[in-house]
């Protein structure tokens, strides 16, 4: 028979020497080199755990110890080993107490009379692996909770069928002005605005954002939010988690930029069309004046025309400068 070569650190809490030796035989039959720590009372267990720095994989706990027993022993042991699976071993077949023990947080409940090497080994392996998965799940839930509650952007969880809020973070409370209980008494429809101008920012939104909604704060202020949502399991039910980014100021900024662009286009048209007329006249007059065959008297007559065209060009340039200052003060 092949033995498990992995190292397992196992605490056996058992005051009966005969029962301990039997458990030791079972463990050594299935595991090549089990690391067995034997304690005979709750006080010894408490003392060992207080000084031990090594990780413990599992605790095998007899329910009748010299200093504690039953429910009190279970509760106090669970308080000592919060992240380690505990398998109860007892000689008393009490089904109702077994159910209660599991409800308290015990990983498994085994009868000594029905125990053998294979049964004990299967329970140990199953509960060690199950505990690892539970720890990973709790860590994942904690990471989600931290990301949710510490996010600087408003976030909430809601039921996609009833649309009722299930949870909201601090940023949402601060930004929307509702307290936590108010949020949980509402649905997502309660913060949706139906009075905002439909056409406002339409082109800007369609060109720059993907999923924009109009929301109303408790104060009545209407805001535009860019939302992102994902399906999650929240407290056992399919739910939606939403991140809402207020883009109202961004939209106003983009609108101002578009207006500036329109004015710049107007200035560019002025430069390419209005400026061209006096400039073309000046160039034509200068060409005549520079022609050696043009009489001096005619050249003198052309000077006022050059001056008029120059003044006209100067006035156009002044208008362009004024418009430019309106765009960029």
- From CA 310, how far away is CA 166, in angstroms rounded? 73
Q: What share of the chain is helix, strand, coil (3-state, %, to 5)?
A: 55, 20, 25
* CATH superfamily name and code, 155-248: PAS domain (3.30.450.20)
pLDDT in tens, 172-181: 999 999 999 9
Find all residues with CB under 8 Å of 240, minimum gap 6, and list them.
157, 158, 159, 160, 229, 230, 231, 232
Task: Give the tens place of pLDDT for each residue, 208-237.
Answer: 446 788 899 999 998 988 888 889 888 888
One DSSP character per residue, 28-89 reads HHHBSS-EEEEE-SHHHHHHHHHH--S---EEEEESB-SS-BHHHHHHHHHHH-TTS-EEEE
3-state DSSP call for residue 228? strand
Q: Enter the tokens of residue 80.
A: 């000592």
pLDDT at 190 over 90: yes
Q: 274: which DSSP letter?
A: I
Would the CATH topology of 9-147 be identical to that of 155-248?
Answer: no
- What class does CATH assign to 9-147? alpha beta
What does pLDDT average to over the chain? 84
User: Model pTM?
Assistant: 0.56
Each domain of the chain, given as residue ranges in start order, spans 9-147, 155-248, 253-327
CA distance 52 to 294: 112
Q: For residues 192 and 208, what is the distance between their CA atoms, to the nearest angstrom?
A: 21
Answer with the residue of higher pLDDT: 296 or 234.
Answer: 234
Tell me the per-residue pLDDT of 114-143, one tens digit each, with 9 for 90 and over: 999 999 999 999 999 999 998 888 888 788
């Amino acid at each position: 028979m092949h033995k498990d070569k992995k190292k397992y650190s196992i605490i056996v809490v058992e005051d009966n020497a005969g029962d301990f030796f039997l458990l030791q035989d079972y463990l050594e039959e299935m595991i090549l080199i089990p690391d067995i720590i034997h304690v005979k009372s709750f006080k010894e267990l408490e003392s060992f755990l207080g000084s031990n720095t090594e990780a413990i994989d599992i605790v095998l706990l007899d329910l009748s110890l010299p200093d504690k027993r039953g429910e009190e022993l279970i509760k106090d042991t669970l308080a000592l080993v919060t992240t380690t699976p505990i398998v109860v071993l007892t000689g008393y077949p009490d089904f109702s107490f077994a159910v209660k023990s599991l409800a308290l947080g015990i990983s498994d409940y085994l009868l000594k009379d029905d125990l053998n090497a294979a049964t004990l080994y299967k329970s140990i392996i199953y509960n060690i692996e199950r505990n690892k998965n539970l720890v990973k799940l709790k860590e994942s839930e904690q990471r989600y909770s931290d990301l949710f509650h510490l996010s600087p952007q408003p976030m909430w969880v809601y039921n996609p069928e009833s649309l009722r809020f299930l949870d909201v973070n601090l940023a949402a409370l601060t930004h929307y002005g509702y307290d936590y209980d108010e949020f949980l008494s509402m649905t997502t429809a309660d913060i949706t605005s139906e009075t905002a101008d439909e056409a406002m920012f339409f082109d800007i939104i369609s060109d720059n954002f993907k999923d924009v909604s109009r929301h109303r704060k408790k104060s009545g202020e209407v805001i535009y939010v860019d939302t992102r949502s994902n399906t999650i399991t929240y407290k056992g039910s399919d739910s939606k988690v939403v991140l809402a980014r207020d883009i109202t100021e961004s939209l106003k900024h983009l609108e101002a930029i578009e207006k500036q662009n329109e004015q710049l286009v107007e200035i560019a048209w002025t430069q390419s069309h209005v400026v061209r007329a006096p400039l073309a006249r000046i160039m034509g007059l200068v060409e005549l004046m520079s022609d050696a065959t043009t009489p001096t008297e005619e050249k003198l007559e052309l000077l006022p025309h050059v001056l008029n065209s120059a003044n006209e060009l100067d006035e156009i340039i002044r208008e362009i400068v004024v418009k430019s200052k309106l765009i960029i003060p």
